[in-house]
Each structure stands twice: as structure tokens, then as C-alpha cells.
Structure 1
Amino acid sequence: MKKVGITGQNGFVGSHLYNTLGLYPEKFERIHFERNFFDDQEKLDKFVEQCDVIVHLAAMNRHPDPEVIYNNNIDLVKKLTESLERTGSKAHVLFSSSSQEEKDNLYGRSKKEGRELLADWAEKAGGKFTGMVIPNVFGPFGKPNYNSFIATFCYKLTHGETPVIDNDGEVKLIYVGELVQEIINQIEGEETKKLHEVPHTSVNKVSEVLKKLENYKQLYFDNGEIPVLESKFDLNLFNTFRCYFDIKNHYPVKFTQHTDTRGAFVEVVRLGIGGQCSFSTTVPGITRGNHFHTRKIERFAVIKGKALIQLRKIDTDETLDFYLDGTEPAYVDMPIWYTHNIKNIGEEELYTIFWINEPFNLEDADTYFLEV
């Protein structure tokens, strides 16, 4: 088992890496990090001493004054390097640099010089160092107007605003889940590289990405239809888009119910994609679920009885409660990285239809059990 610490553990990439490492408790022990450790030599040294691997992600990306960005990022590297020297650490240090290294800006300079400082430490101290140069990253829970243009577009489309394209160029992208897997490969591997260029996984024009997102808004956000997802990039982009909903106010979504003398008809899900549709009955007082997914798209549709559906993002304490009643059929979709369950809170059997975008595969279930 390797003890892994992540500076910037609560940031965009850091939180995804921290949560993913938590899926493999038999392989990794996560060493807790807080931003204030950089301002407390004793706490920083204690953190460094515990780690077999340190992934240095903490950095500033944007600020009105570029010199503030440069000074902040270099200062963080120097403090980490000094702690490594004080403690005599032999940890494998992985550094997150940027494809902007070669651009003429202070952010790019701060990443390149920071990488070189840590490489010098490793050479002098006999430490292990890998400098990762990373392309543009996108994915769920990124900050709009900060982490990615995709985060900004997703937020605006789901909050009644209109995205604007500043520069319609081609962008090399990597999904945060793909980047996390690349980092884990480096953690587990024995080879180190002063300069490791992480390959991008797609190239897209900004306008093409926006067109896809606008389609997701029209079909899915406004009408509940699961769109055609032709590639892995499309699936990752769609799951990213879904995470920007105001979930508390978006769900539950009521179905359109058509009634006549014969009874009622309700369309549960309209698909541009395949998947697996299931039906269940649940006796009063019983709870199903208490698990989460990292890639699957899932819908719970209550058609008879009374149900409480609960969601909680796995690294938060806030539980979202949705009450559904079959007299007004409705659904809730499950965002990735949200553990969820459904409980029969009525006095009769609960009838639920479950749809998920891929058939269950025991060898790759993407299902992680965790109490809401």
C-alpha cells in the first residue's frame, strides 16, 4: 500500500484524484492535506514525512495581476522543496505542470520553473520526481470562469445565461477522469521522468463543443431526453454538463401523463442512446441503492406508491431529499459521484422503473457502495 498526499486536495483535479484513490483502499492510503499547511512549517513537515508519494497540484490559475500568480506558484514549490529537504524525504513527487509552459505568460513560467526546482531537488537529494505537462482539463465540478471554458459554458446554459466564444480555436483536451488514471499510472509505476507530456484525448473547436452542449440543453435539460452519445468524449462531456444543474430545484421532474377511459400512459425516457431498463417493486420501509457511479447515467422513475429518493455528493455532508408520489409520476436522474438511494415511505408496494445507459457488467460494474 502506498501513502499518497495531494496538495490542492480540494481543488478541481485534486478532489477527483482524492475521491478516485478512495475507491482502492487496498492499494492507497490517502494522507490528508489542507491549504494552511503551507503556512505552518510543522504541519507541512508532518504531512511530507508520512507520504510515499506527493502529488503537487496546489496552484493559482487566474488573478487580475499575473505577477501574483507567478509569485504564489513559485512560493508553494519552494515551501514544498524546503520541507522535503528538512525531512530528508525520499517520496516520489509528481508535479502538475501545464501545456502553457512554452507560452510567454507568467503562469506558464511559474509552472515551468516550479517543475525545474523540484527536478533539481530530486537530483541533489536522490529523490524521485515526475514532471507532468498536462493539456486543458475538463470535467464535473470545475469552477466556471476559472478551470475551463467548458465549465463556463455548462454553468451558463443551465442557469439561464448565454455563452460567448472569445476565441474559436482548436483545443487539446483531456477529461479529468482520464487525467486521474494517468496520475495513478505514474503513482504505481517505477519509472520517473523530469518531463512527461500527458497526451490529450481529443481535439475540438470551441464552437463544436458549444454546439454539443446547446443540444444537451435542448434535449436533456429542457425535455429530459438522453441524447445520442457517439464517442467517449461525448459521454464525458454529457456527464460534465449534468453536474452543473441546480439539482435541488430541477428534480423531481414530472412526467407528462396522458389519461383516458382506459387509464394512463406515461413516456418514461426518450433515448438517443441504448442501455438497460428495469422494473422493481419495493415493500414498505425498504431502501434500495446506497451506491454511486463514476460514469453511468441513471434514471429512477416512480410510477406507483410513495418514495424518498436521496442524493449526496460523496465528499460533502449535504443530503438532497426528493419526495415522489405515483399519483403524479416523476423521475430523478443520478449525477455521477453522487451516492443515492430510494426508500418506500408509503403503505403499499412501490413501483419503480430504472433506466441506465449500459447493461450491468460484474467485471466492470462502476458501482461503489456508500451510505447516503
Structure 2
Amino acid sequence: MKKIGITGQNGFVGSHLYNTLGLHPEKFERINFEKDFFDDQKKLDEFVGQCDVIVHLAAMNRHPEPEVIYENNLDLVKKLIASLERVNSKAHVLFSSSSQEEKDNLYGKSKKEGRELLAEWAEKNDGKFTGMIIPNVFGPFGKPNYNSFIATFCHKLTHGEQPVIDNDGEVKLIYVGELIQEIINHINSEESNKLYEVPNTSVNKVSEVLQKLEIYKNLYFDNGEIPALESGFDLNLFNTFRCYFDIKNHYPAKFTQHTDPRGAFVEVIRLGIGGQCSFSTTVPGITRGNHFHTRKIERFAVIKGKALIQLRKVDTDEVLDFYLDGNEPAYVDMPIWYTHNIKNIGEEELYTIFWINEPFNPKDADTYFLEV
């Protein structure tokens, strides 16, 4: 078992890496990192001394004064190196640099010089070091106006604003889940790689990305229809988009119910994509679920009885409660990385329709059990 520490573990990439490592407790032990460790030599040394691998992600991306970014990022690297030397660490250090290295800006300069300083530390101390040049990263839970233009577009489209394109260039992109797999591959490796260019997984014009997101907004956000997702990039972009909803106020989403003397008809889901649809009955007091997915799209639709559907993002304590009643048929969709359950809180059987975008595969279930 390897002991892994992540500076910046609460940031965009750091939180995804931390949570993904947590899916494999038999392989990895996560050593907790707090932001204030960089200001406390004793705490930083204690952290560094425990780690077999340190993934250095902590950095500043944006600030009104570029010099502050440059000085802050180099200062973090220097503090990490000083700690590595004080405790005589033999940890494998992975450093996230950026494709901005070759651009004429102080952020890129701070990343390049930080990578070179860590490479010098490894050379001088017989240490292990991997410097990763990372393309533009997008994915769920990135900060709008900070991590990615995709985060900004998603937030605006789901909050009543219209995105504006400043520069419609081609952008090399990688989904955060794909980047995490690259990092884990290096964590598992015993070899140093002082300069590793992480390959991008797609190239898109900014306007093309916005066009897809506007389709998702019109079909899914406004009307609950799952759009056609023709590639892995489309699925990753759609799952990213879904995570910018104001979930508390968006769900439960009521169906349109058509009634006549014969009874009622409700369209549960309209698809531009396939998947698996199932039906369940649940007796009073029973709870189903308590698991989460990292890629699957799932809908719970209550058509008879009374239900409590609960969601909780895996690295938070806030539980979102949604009460559904079959007299007013409604649904809740499950964002990725949200553990969820459904409980019969009525006095009669609960009838629920479940839809998921891929048939269940026990060898690759993408289902991780965790109490809400």
C-alpha cells in the first residue's frame, strides 16, 4: 500500500484525485493535507515524512497582480523542497505543470521554474520526480471564472446568463477523470519522468463546445431530455454540465401528466441515447441505493406512493432531501459523485422507474456503496 499526499487536495484536480484514490483503499492510503501546512514548518514536515508519493497540485491560477501568482507558486515549491530536505524524504514527487509554460506569462513562468527546481532537488538528493505538462482540464466542480472556460459556460447557462466568447480558438482538452488516471499511472510507476507531456484527449473550438452546452441546456436543463452523446468527450462534457445545476431548486422535476377516463399517461424519459430502464416496488420503511457513480447518468421517477430521495456529494456533509409523491409524478437525476438513496416513507407500496444510460456490467459496475 502506498501512502499518498496531495498538496491542494481540496482544489479542483486535488479533490478528484483524493476521491478517486479513496475508491481503492486496498492500494492507497491518503495522507491528509491542509492549506495551512505551508505556513507551519512542523506540520509540513510531518506531512512530507509520512508520504511515499507527493502530488504537488497547490498553486494560484488567477490574481489581479500576475507577480503575486509568480511569487506564490515558486514560494510553495521552495517550501516543499526545504521540507523534503529536512526530513530526508525519498518520496516520489509528482508536479503538475501547465501547457502555459511556453507562453509569455508569469503563471507559466512560475510553473516552469517550479518544475526545474524540483528536478534539481531530485538530481541532488537521488530523489524521484515526475514533472507533468498538463493541457486544459475540465470536469465537474471546477470553479467558474477560474479553472476553465467550460466551468464558466456551464455555470452561466444554468444560472440564466449567456456566455460570451472572447477568443474562438482551438483548445486542447483533457477531462479531469482522464487526468486522474494519468496521475495514478505515475503513482504506480517506480520511474522518474522529469518532463512528461500529458496527451490531450480532444481538440475543440470554443464555439463548438458552447454549441454542445447550449443543446444540453435546451434539451436537458429545460426539458429533461437526455441528448445524444456520440463520443466519450460528449459524455464527459454532459456530466460536467449536469454538476452546475442549483440542485436544491431544480429537483424534484414534475412530469407532464395526461389524464382521461382510462387513467393517466406520463412520459418518463425522452432519449437521444440508449440505456437500461427498470421498475421496482418498495415496501414501507425500506431504503434502496446508498451508492454513487463516477460516470453513469441515472434517473429515479416516482409514479406511485411517497418517497424520500436523498443526495450527498461524497466529500461534503450536506444532505439534500427531495420528497416525491406519485399523485404528482416527478423525477430526480443523480449527478456523478453524489451518493444517493430512495426510501418509501408512505403507507403503501412505492412504485419507482429507474433509468440508467448503460446496462449493468458486474465487471465494471461504476457503483460504489456509501451511506448518504
SS in structure 2 opposite 1:183?
helix
Q: Provide the rounded CA distance (Å) in 1 between the counterparts of 2:358 and 2:202.
A: 23
Say yes or no: does 1:128 pair with 2:124.
Answer: no
Say yes or no: does 1:329 pair with 2:329.
Answer: yes
Q: Provide the rounded CA distance (Å) in 1 between the counterparts of 2:279 and 2:148.
A: 39
Alignment of 1:1-372 (within 5 A): 1-372=1-372
- 1:5 is displaced (CA, Å) by 0.1
Percent identity of equivalent pairs: 88
Q: Provide the rounded CA distance (Å) in 2 between the counterparts of 1:131 and 1:93.
A: 8
SS in structure 2 opposite 1:328?
coil
Q: Provide the rounded CA distance (Å) in 2 between the counterparts of 1:211 and 1:192.
A: 41
SS in structure 2 opposite 1:55?
strand
- 1:159 is displaced (CA, Å) by 0.1
Q: Provide the rounded CA distance (Å) in 1 between the counterparts of 2:83 and 2:309.
A: 47
- 1:125 is displaced (CA, Å) by 0.5
- 1:256 is displaced (CA, Å) by 0.0
- 1:48 is displaced (CA, Å) by 0.2
Deviations 1:56-110 (A, max 9, x none): 0000000010000000000000000000000000000000000000111100000
- 1:301 is displaced (CA, Å) by 0.1
Q: Provide the rounded CA distance (Å) in 1 between the counterparts of 2:356 and 2:319.
A: 22
Deviations 1:257-309 (A, max 9, x none): 00000000000000000000000000000000000000000000000000000
Please provide the CA RMSD for this pair.
0.2
Deviations 1:117-153 (A, max 9, x none): 0000000011100000000000000000000000000
- 1:196 is displaced (CA, Å) by 0.4
The amino acid across from 1:213 in the alignment is L
- 1:190 is displaced (CA, Å) by 1.6
SS in structure 1 opposite 2:131?
strand
Deviations 1:330-356 (A, max 9, x none): 000000000000000000000000000
Q: Provide the rounded CA distance (Å) in 1 between the counterparts of 2:117 and 2:89.
A: 16
The amino acid across from 2:41 in the alignment is Q
SS in structure 2 opposite 1:371?
coil
Q: Provide the rounded CA distance (Å) in 2 between the counterparts of 1:294 and 1:95.
A: 25
Deviations 1:183-236 (A, max 9, x none): 000000122111000000000000000000000000000000000000000000
The amino acid across from 1:75 in the alignment is D
The amino acid across from 1:235 in the alignment is L
Gaps of 5+ in 2: none
Q: Provide the rounded CA distance (Å) in 2 between the counterparts of 1:87 and 1:192.
A: 20
Compute the TM-score of the two structures, normalised by the length of structure 2. Answer: 1.00
The amino acid across from 2:252 in the alignment is P
Deviations 1:152-196 (A, max 9, x none): 000000000010000000000000000000000000012211100
- 1:17 is displaced (CA, Å) by 0.1
SS in structure 1 opposite 2:284?
coil
Q: Provide the rounded CA distance (Å) in 1 between the counterparts of 2:127 and 2:369.
A: 38
Q: Provide the rounded CA distance (Å) in 1 between the counterparts of 2:229 and 2:102.
A: 34
Q: Provide the rounded CA distance (Å) in 1 between the counterparts of 2:355 and 2:337.
A: 17
Aligned length: 372
Q: Provide the rounded CA distance (Å) in 2 between the counterparts of 1:301 and 1:77.
A: 50
